[in-house]
């Protein structure tokens, strides 16, 4: 999949979604709420570690939120880890801690849904703001292979910005992303001659049987 021009030297970038928290399992949207991993998430992160043992990379970076840091530390014990707040999840503001039905009942929900890329929840961030900070982070990455632990919305906002994916409203889901990313899934991008291509999307084969993840050549 081809992408718009980027900035910087040749780079392989593997983005990892953090493992599960109790709020994830309960269907509550966390945003910047700093939850730690649940029991299931700890097991997921350790299984991810076995997967990453065969993946060569030059540096590891992470969101500074606890669930991402804990995932990285369990999966890469003893490896140096650089924390960057630009890799944080979207701030959902007043929507944090809510389920989708509770969010939909909020008086500000309809206005936000008109264009989540431009509009933010009360006290939160728009998707455009998330994409902008994620893009700024990629532009500072050196060449080689970077492994980065981040969050579902942040990763998909970055992918949308780099690859030109148009927003696609999803019935019963508050974000305009047709792609979902499972916990500890891997998505790999390559930057060559300033342009980005996507080579792996949401690959969680270390957690699932056949079909858990997929390599991609075209738009999902």
What's the pLDDT tens digit per position in 125-158? 999 999 999 999 999 999 999 999 999 999 999 9
Provide the whole-model pTM. Answer: 0.91
Catalytic position from the list 25, 39, 44, 89: 89
18 is catalytic: yes
Query: What residue has token string 């939850």?
Result: 35
Distance between CA 162 and CA 3 in Å, rounded?
6
Q: Residue 75: is its pLDDT beyond 80?
A: yes
pLDDT at 215: 36
Residue 7 has pLDDT above 80, yes or no: no
Q: What percent of the chain has pLDDT over 90?
A: 89
**DSSP designation for 79:** -
- 8 Å CB contact between 14 and 145: yes
Model confidence at 2, pLDDT cuts 50, 70, 90, reads very low
pLDDT value, residue 209: 55
The residue from 18, 151, 183, 206 that is catalytic is 18
22: phi then psi, degrees, rounded to nearest 5: -60, -35
Interatomic CA distance for residues 36 and 38, integer angstroms: 7
Q: What is the pLDDT of residues 163-211, one digit of tens each?
A: 999 999 999 999 999 999 999 999 999 999 989 999 999 999 999 853 3
Query: 57-69 b/e with 16+ CB inside 10 Å = b?
Result: beebbbbebebbb
The pLDDT of residue 213 is above 80: no
The per-residue pLDDT for range 89-120, each reduced to its tens digit, is 999 999 999 999 999 999 999 999 999 999 99
Q: pLDDT band at residue 218, thresholds of 50, 70 and 90?
A: very low
Q: Over 70: is that where the pLDDT of 219 sits?
A: no
Is 129 annotated as catalytic?
A: no
The closest of 199, 209, 191 to 8, measured between CA atoms, is 191
Q: Which domains does the chain have, with CATH numbers?
A: 11-215 (3.40.50.1240)
Tokens representing residue 145 in the block: 């292979």
pLDDT confidence of residue 6: 57
| pLDDT at position 212 | 39
Across the range 60-66, mean pLDDT stands at 98
């Amino acid at each position: 999949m081809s992408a718009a021009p980027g900035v910087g030297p040749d780079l392989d970038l593997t983005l990892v979604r953090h493992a599960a928290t109790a709020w994830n399992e309960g269907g509550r949207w966390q945003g910047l709420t700093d939850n730690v991993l649940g029991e299931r998430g700890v097991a997921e992160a350790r299984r991810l570690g076995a997967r990453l043992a065969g993946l060569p990379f030059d540096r590891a970076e992470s969101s500074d939120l606890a669930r991402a840091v804990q995932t990285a530390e369990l999966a890469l014990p003893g490896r140096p880890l650089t924390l960057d707040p630009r890799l944080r999840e979207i701030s959902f503001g007043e929507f944090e801690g809510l389920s989708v039905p509770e969010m939909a009942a909020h008086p500000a929900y309809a206005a936000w849904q008109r264009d989540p890329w431009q509009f933010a929840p009360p006290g939160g961030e728009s998707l455009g703001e998330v994409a902008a900070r994620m893009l700024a982070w990629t532009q500072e990455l050196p060449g080689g292979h970077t492994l980065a632990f981040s969050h579902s919305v942040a990763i998909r906002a970055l992918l949308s910005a780099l690859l030109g994916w148009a927003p696609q409203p999803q019935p019963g889901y508050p974000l305009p992303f047709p792609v979902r990313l499972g916990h500890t899934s891997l998505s790999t991008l390559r930057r060559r001659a300033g342009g980005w291509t996507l080579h792996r999307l949401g690959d969680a084969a270390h957690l699932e049987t056949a079909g858990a993840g997929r390599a991609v050549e075209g738009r999902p």
